[in-house]
Amino acid sequence: MLNLDRLIAVSPQRRSGVILCKQHHAEFAGPGAALGGFLDQGVNQVLLINDPQLIYLESRQERQAAYSRRIQWLHWLQKITNRQQPRLRAQQLIDSFEAFFGSVTVTEIPAEVLARLVGTSAKTIHELWEGKAVESSVCADYLPEFEPAFCRSLF
């Protein structure tokens, strides 16, 4: 298992990330984001997406940049979570992750983990995967660009 005692970061050079499952929710740390140390106490499961390269943060400047990226990824996920309808939250997360990681990779992530990221049920995720999704025209109005501005410049 990944040792989260020391502060590390997901390399900004790859389209990869880490999902950190805690008791009642999950968090996503995308490219450039810090993880470990005091940030991730209480993590009970770690899911690596697209074989992320994890790097040690040596300087204060590197740590500050990685903390900032983690906060930006949390804000991105919070925007999705703020939607009232669980299906829209789940659909936006799935669409965003598919755009970033590819649909094959997203289907390998357990539905329970995706559900914990946006506060919905695994049943909702399964229904969306089975084609009972919200009409795409309805969802389109709720789907902002996935990659945060800080990430667009990396690829």
pLDDT tens digit sequence for 55-108 = 999 999 999 999 999 999 999 999 999 999 999 999 999 999 999 999 999 999
Indicate the SS3 state at residue 45.
strand
Give CA–CA dist 26/9, Å, rounded.
17
Give CA–CA dist 88/133, Å, rounded.
9
pLDDT score at 2: 65
β pairing state of 8-10 and 34-35: antiparallel
Q: Which amino acid is at 47?
A: L
pLDDT score at 37: 87
150 or 115, higher pLDDT: 115
Give CA–CA dist 20/149, Å, rounded.
23
Q: What is the mean pLDDT of residues 130-138?
A: 56
Q: Which of 6, 142, 9, 130 is nearest to 69 (CA)?
A: 9
- Examine the pLDDT at 110 and tell me if it is beyond 90: yes
Provide the b/e sequence for 41-67 (b: ≥16 CB within 10 Å).
eebeebbebeebebeebeeeeeeebbb
Give CA–CA dist 50/59, Å, rounded.
26
**What tokens appear for 136 in the block?**
């795409």
Domain ranges of the chain: 8-152
Give CA–CA dist 24/38, Å, rounded.
18
